[in-house]
Amino acid sequence: MGFMQMLEAAWARNDSLVCVGLDPEPQRFPAALRDDPDAVFRFCAAIVDATADLVCAFKPQIAHFAARGAEEALQRLIAHIHAQHPGVPVILDAKRGDIGSTAAYYAEEAFDRYGADAVTLNPYLGRDAVQPFLDRADKGAVLLCRTSNPGARDLQDLVVRDAAGGERRLYQHVAATVAREWNANGNCLLVVGATYPEELADVRRIVGDMPLLVPGVGAQGGDVGAVVRNGRSAAGTGLLISSSRAILYASAGADYAEAARDAALALRDAINRCR
């Protein structure tokens, strides 16, 4: 089953638009795990097992693993998700994009080494820099459009002129270009931050029902109601609303996995009340 089919099935099966972000920060782990050499895998696997029936996807962030040489733990974690929770797609948050010859290796790394079902991509280098990902029709290509951070305004809001002479903001141009030109295989999604609900509505208008990955609720303070109202598709889905720290570190104690489950359930319910 390809990524888009997995996502549609997970939305329906778990009645959920929640994506749990897996951003391990060992200094925030419970005391019992701190001296465990396999703590990164164990912590994340416990969160996965506690929340898998409440989510439409998991999103491990690669820097949180690579910074401490835990790539092998990431590989095992993704294999664990596929083996224990088949049908829950994994989006590798790696924000890749480079000249074509290098991009081909990045695609191989994400999909063949790590076994991810989708990967986040930076569109700044242009189409050839993400073409090896677009060509994997069974995998998701999740392109940054209007990111959740304060600096998103610095470049993404600049007014640009397109080939036809029309003017629009850069993020609007990215949304339209991905939807109309890069999505030939129907495997594209966009990242739009929850912290910019007006821009989210704007992107939804531009791209129709294309799925949107929306980080920025929870620790970054995005408004869940505004995200759902402005970002849902005509079918009341179309969103992967991602939260990492607010779920992972809901408790610093031995009950961290139960607390993560409670936080994921609360987010799922808050989203579903607005759908």
What residues are labeled active site? 95
For position 156 contacting ligand LLZGTKA7 by CB under 6 A, the verdict is: no
Closest CA to 205 of 227, 175, 236: 175
Question: Cβ of residue 270: shortest distance to ligand LLZGTKA7, in angstroms?
Answer: 15
The one-letter amino acid code at 254 reads A
Q: Which of 24, 140, 218, 238 binds ligand LLZGTKA7 (CB under 6 A)?
A: 218
- Cβ proximity to ligand LLZGTKA7: between 177 and 244 the closer is 244
Tokens coding 47: 């969160």
Q: How far apart are CA 52 and CA 15, in angstroms?
A: 12
The single-letter code of the amino acid at 196 is: Y
220 binds ligand LLZGTKA7 (CB under 6 A): yes
Residues touching ligand LLZGTKA7, count (CB under 6 A): 17
Look at strands 239-243 and 18-22 and give their pairing. parallel
Nearest residue to 218 via CA among 161, 263, 156, 166: 263
Q: Does 243 bind ligand LLZGTKA7 (CB under 6 A)?
A: yes
Per CB under 6 A, the list member of 183, 187, 237, 244 interacting with ligand LLZGTKA7 is 244
User: Is 183 an interacting residue with respect to ligand LLZGTKA7 (CB under 6 A)?
Assistant: no
- Going by C-alpha positions, the residue among 248, 187, 217 that lies closest to residue 17 is 217
CB of 94 to ligand LLZGTKA7, least distance (A): 10
Q: Name the minimum Å distance from CB 147 to ligand LLZGTKA7.
A: 3
Residue selected from 16, 147, 183, 237 as contacting ligand LLZGTKA7 according to rule CB under 6 A = 147
Contact call for residue 24 and ligand LLZGTKA7 (CB under 6 A): no
Residues 42-61 that bind ligand LLZGTKA7 (CB under 6 A): 61
Per CB under 6 A, which region of 2-10, 76-84, 159-167, 237-245 contacts ligand LLZGTKA7? 237-245
**Which is it for strands 188-192 and 140-146: parallel, antiparallel or unpaired?**
parallel
DSSP lists the bridge partners of residue 168 as 160
Helix H or strand E encompassing 60: strand 57-60
Question: Phi, psi at residue 175, to the nearest 5°?
Answer: -60, -45
Distance of CA 241 to CAs 2, 145, 230, 252, Å? 20, 15, 12, 23
Min dist. Cβ of residue 41 to ligand LLZGTKA7 (A): 18
Residue of 23, 117, 199, 202 interacting with ligand LLZGTKA7 (CB under 6 A) = 23
Residues 7, 240: contact at Cβ < 8 Å? yes
- Tally Cβ neighbours within 10 Å of residue 191: 27
Least Å from the CB of residue 248 to ligand LLZGTKA7: 8
- Using DSSP bridges, classify how beta strands 159-161 and 167-169 pair: parallel, antiparallel or unpaired: antiparallel
Residues near ligand LLZGTKA7, by CB under 6 A: 21, 23, 61, 93, 147-148, 191, 193, 215-216, 218-220, 242-245
